């Protein structure tokens, strides 16, 4: 399909405009799916104080409210494969858009706390669906040339979402000093983006591959005719899909019992586990709180993490092809290990001082620098690469199963970090958790060395045949 974009750019004619419009829609919806993931993920950092004033939650209650998003994400990711098959890709996106919109609107009405929590669970559910369906829909509908960069683009949109909500929440809290006014407006920001996604999804074409799966060849042909340029291309594509469906044995969950699959699944699971155990979401969720423990408040404390995170996801898009996945993961883990140690030492030197005016400038400077470099280390490596590798290593017939399971693992460990980071600091001292995360960085490097393949510059088919030929995991990417 790579040729289609080329053709549409080089040939004029009426179908050309139509083609571009649809591709634009597809990319916009993908962007919105990632953006909403980020808006809900990043919501907590600069709203926690406002939520606290309205609902009086305390540290543990705040953590639980934050983390329930992950529980919803797990359930959403678990069921999204079923939704994708039964409802279709388009209607699943509409469903996610509906949940995003209605649940942020209900939250904006500041209901009783259990209802607010249920809404956050539901938002997580929608994030779980979106994070599965959007990439799937894209890979089935968008031209191949867009497909390649989607992994990194999706991550970029997540980080933009985290950034946007961090900025809007800061300013909302500063402009509307009454928390009973500020908090609803914070939710309304998410609702606005959600409504755009909800209504926008109706205008999407259904995935031609799903239509073919359901035996609706005529409908698939209609969609392809609006996306592609000539009758020949449409017929070619229909045949390709038909062949793919025939050879896709549609492996169910039973595939995990096949040795070669189990092996690569375990690698993906551990990779996603480490993506969370290096501690990123402690920073995404609680950086303002943690900076506060070190006596730092204000815009720097509130906006440094989301800004650095977003900016350094841009170079990752190129580096992942230039330097390769594994090298980036090594660099990221090393950078994060050193900076987590530095942050821990900064907190250790602050000791038990609680009066901010008594905390000297040096540990603050060390902490701030360490956090900036740490976020750089994650954004340029583990952020996008863990997802990219998991979308590459599974054999075609088990890709859905593999990605569902690894996504669930990602959310499970994300939930663990979100739900326990602050109380861990309270129980074991502020420095302790940084050493724990530094330790996980070391373990991740050992894991990389022995088990993770370099998947740069090798076709997915070659990877698959290496896997089935019994090559060691770390050699899967060798020709």
DSSP of 14-57, one letter per residue?
A: HHHHHHHHHHHHHHHHHHHHHHHHHHHHHTTTTTHHHHHHHH--
**Could you give phi then psi for residue 434, rounded to 5 degrees?**
-65, -35
- Under DSSP, the state recorded for 457 is T
What number of chain residues touch ligand BGC (CB under 6 A)? Answer: 13
CB 371 within 8 A of CB 338: no
User: Is 280 a residue that touches ligand BGC (CB under 6 A)?
Assistant: yes
Residues in the chain: 479
If residue 75 lies in a helix (H) or strand (E), which one and from where to where?
Answer: helix 58-86
Extract the tokens encoding 232. Answer: 């020949």
**Which stretch in 71-79, 208-216, 275-283, 360-368 sits in contact with ligand BGC by CB under 6 A?**
275-283
Exactly one of 46, 47, 80, 155 binds ligand BGC (CB under 6 A); which one? 155
**Which stretch in 217-225, 277-285, 447-455, 459-467 sits in contact with ligand BGC by CB under 6 A?**
277-285
**Residues 105-144: x/- map of binding to ligand BGC (CB under 6 A)?**
----------------------------------------
**Which stretch in 105-113, 155-163, 286-294, 349-357 sits in contact with ligand BGC by CB under 6 A?**
155-163
We find the least distance from the C-beta atom of residue 435 to ligand BGC, in angstroms, to be: 21
Show contacts with ligand BGC in window 346-375 (CB under 6 A). none
Exactly one of 68, 158, 271, 431 binds ligand BGC (CB under 6 A); which one? 158
**Which stretch in 82-90, 107-115, 278-286, 400-408 sits in contact with ligand BGC by CB under 6 A?**
278-286
CB 189 within 8 A of CB 64: no
| Residue with smaller CB distance to ligand BGC, 241 or 329 | 329
Show contacts with ligand BGC in window 160-219 (CB under 6 A). 162
| Residue with smaller CB distance to ligand BGC, 128 or 184 | 128
| Residue with smaller CB distance to ligand BGC, 285 or 434 | 285
DSSP of 81-135, one letter per residue?
A: HHHHHHT-HHHHHHHHHHHHHHHHHHHHT---HHHHHHHHHHHHHHHHHHHHHHH
**Which stretch in 143-151, 153-161, 203-211, 227-235 sits in contact with ligand BGC by CB under 6 A?**
153-161
Exactly one of 46, 107, 309, 406 binds ligand BGC (CB under 6 A); which one? 309
Strands (E), 121-266: none
| Residue with smaller CB distance to ligand BGC, 130 or 280 | 280
Exactly one of 281, 381, 406, 444 binds ligand BGC (CB under 6 A); which one? 281
The CA distance from 275 to 129, in Å, is 20
User: Is 414 a residue that touches ligand BGC (CB under 6 A)?
Assistant: yes
Exactly one of 159, 201, 289, 466 binds ligand BGC (CB under 6 A); which one? 159
Extract the tokens encoding 217. Answer: 């060849």
CB 457 within 8 A of CB 450: no
If residue 461 lies in a helix (H) or strand (E), which one and from where to where?
Answer: helix 460-468
Helix, coil or strand: residue 354: coil
The CA distance from 123 to 425, in Å, is 27
User: Is 284 a residue that touches ligand BGC (CB under 6 A)?
Assistant: yes
**Which stretch in 20-28, 156-164, 205-213, 354-362 sits in contact with ligand BGC by CB under 6 A?**
156-164
CA-CA-CA-CA dihedral for 217, 223, 227, 232, to nearest 10: 30
| Residue with smaller CB distance to ligand BGC, 380 or 476 | 380
**Residues 35-64: x/- map of binding to ligand BGC (CB under 6 A)?**
------x-----------------------
Q: Which residues of 194-228 are buried (b: 16+ CB within 10 A; e: fewer)?
A: bbbbbebbeebbbbbbbbbbeebeebbbbbbbebb
**Which stretch in 114-122, 154-162, 255-263, 286-294 sits in contact with ligand BGC by CB under 6 A?**
154-162
CB 306 within 8 A of CB 375: no
CB 148 within 8 A of CB 2: no
We find the least distance from the C-beta atom of residue 249 to ligand BGC, in angstroms, to be: 30
Give the residues lining the site for ligand BGC (CB under 6 A): 41, 155, 158-159, 162, 275, 280-281, 284, 309, 383, 410, 414
């Amino acid at each position: 399909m790579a040729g289609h974009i080329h053709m549409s750019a080089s040939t004029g004619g009426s179908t050309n405009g139509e083609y571009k419009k649809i591709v634009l829609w597809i990319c916009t919806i993908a962007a919105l799916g990632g953006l909403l993931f980020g808006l809900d993920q990043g919501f907590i950092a600069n709203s926690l104080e406002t939520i606290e004033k309205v609902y009086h939650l305390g540290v543990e209650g705040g953590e639980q409210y934050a983390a329930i998003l992950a529980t919803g994400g797990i359930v959403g990711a678990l069921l999204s494969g079923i939704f994708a098959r039964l409802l279709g890709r388009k209607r699943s996106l509409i469903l996610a858009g509906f949940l995003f919109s209605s649940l942020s609107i209900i939250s904006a009405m500041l209901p009783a706390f259990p209802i607010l929590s249920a809404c956050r669970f539901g938002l997580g559910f929608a994030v779980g669906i979106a994070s599965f369906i959007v990439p799937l829909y894209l890979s089935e509908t968008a031209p191949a040339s867009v497909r390649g960069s989607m992994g990194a683009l999706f991550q970029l949109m997540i980080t933009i979402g985290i950034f946007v909500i961090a900025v809007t929440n800061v300013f909302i809290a500063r402009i509307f000093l009454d928390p009973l006014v500020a908090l609803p407006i914070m939710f309304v920001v998410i609702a606005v983006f959600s409504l755009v996604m909800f209504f926008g999804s109706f205008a999407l074409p259904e995935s031609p591959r799903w239509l073919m799966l359901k035996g609706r060849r005529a409908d698939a042909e209609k969609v392809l005719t609006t996306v592609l340029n000539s009758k020949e291309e449409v017929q070619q594509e229909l045949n390709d899909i038909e062949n793919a469906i025939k050879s896709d044995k549609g492996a169910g969950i039973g595939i995990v019992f096949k040795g070669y699959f189990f092996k690569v699944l375990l690698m993906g699971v551990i990779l996603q586990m480490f993506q969370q155990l290096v501690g990123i979401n402690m920073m995404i969720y609680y950086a303002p709180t943690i900076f506060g423990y070190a006596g730092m408040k204000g815009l720097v404390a509130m906006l440094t993490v989301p800004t650095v995170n977003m900016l350094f996801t841009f170079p990752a898009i190129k580096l992942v092809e230039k330097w390769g996945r594994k090298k980036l993961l090594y660099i990221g883990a090393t950078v994060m290990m050193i900076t987590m140690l530095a942050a821990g030492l900064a907190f250790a030197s602050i000791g038990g001082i609680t009066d901010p005016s008594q905390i000297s400038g040096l540990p603050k400077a060390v902490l701030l620098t360490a956090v900036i470099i740490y976020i750089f280390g994650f954004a340029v490596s583990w952020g996008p690469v863990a997802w990219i590798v998991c979308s590459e290593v599974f054999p075609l017939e088990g890709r859905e199963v593999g990605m569902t399971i690894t996504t669930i693992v990602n959310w499970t460990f994300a939930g663990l970090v979100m739900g326990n980071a602050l109380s861990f600091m309270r129980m074991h001292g502020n420095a302790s958790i940084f050493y724990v995360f530094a330790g996980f960085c070391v373990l991740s490097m050992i894991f990389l060395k022995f088990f993770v393949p370099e998947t740069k510059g090798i076709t997915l088919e070659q990877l698959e045949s290496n896997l089935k030929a019994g090559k060691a995991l770390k050699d899967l990417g060798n020709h």
